[in-house]
Amino acid sequence: MNEFCAKKLGEVMAFAKVGIETFEKGNEGFLKLFTEIKIADLKKENQEHISAIEEQVNDKDVSDTTLKKNEATSVKLIAMRDLYVKDEWHNPAELCEWLGFFEGAAVVHWTLVKGVAEGLGDKNLEELADRAIIFHEEILKTVSLCLYNIGKEKSL
């Protein structure tokens, strides 16, 4: 695995880590939309992505490159998120608007990783990318529906 591939895995790892942190930090607001079990499941799936990425990069001796990129990307994502959400962590509309940006970006980053996996002929990584793409697309659909319902409710 070359440096480009290792860095892309660091980026998607950052989406998983920041995703977990976002659901933890915004728990109050998210509980207005999701059950505790759903939030726990979202965090668990993100953690499974992290573990699978760690396994991938450890097997290929590129973990240093991946972890360095993960840290840099996490800093950027957290800065963008905190600038957007500000002090609205209790507000489901703001949280879902942020997740619209975040989950869309996660989908395109994982799609790039899928291309990497196919280029490498790595079926395990390809399966992980497919699973992650579906996961993030489902969150995006869910938050879009939540925003639709919030908009309809607030218009009355």
Q: Which fold has domain 3-154?
A: Ferritin (1.20.1260)
**What percentage of the chain carries pLDDT values higher than 70?**
100
User: By percentage, how much of the chain surpasses pLDDT 90?
Assistant: 94
The per-residue pLDDT for 45 is 98
**pLDDT tens across 33-54, in order?**
899 999 999 999 999 999 999 9
CA dihedral 57, 108, 141, 145 (to 10 degrees): 130
**Distance of alpha carbon 30 from the chain centroid:** 16
Distance between CA atoms of 71 and 69, rounded to whole angstroms?
5
Mean pLDDT of 115-120: 96
What local confidence, expressed as pLDDT, does residue 123 receive?
Answer: 97
pLDDT of residue 4: 96
pLDDT of residue 61: 87
Average pLDDT for residues 26-37, to the nearest whole number? Answer: 93
pLDDT tens digit string along 42-99? 999 999 999 999 999 998 889 999 999 999 999 999 999 999 999 999 999 999 999 9
Contact 90, 29 (CB under 8 A): yes
CB atoms closer than 10 angstroms to residue 30: 24
Rounded to whole angstroms, how far apart are CA atoms 87 and 67?
A: 29
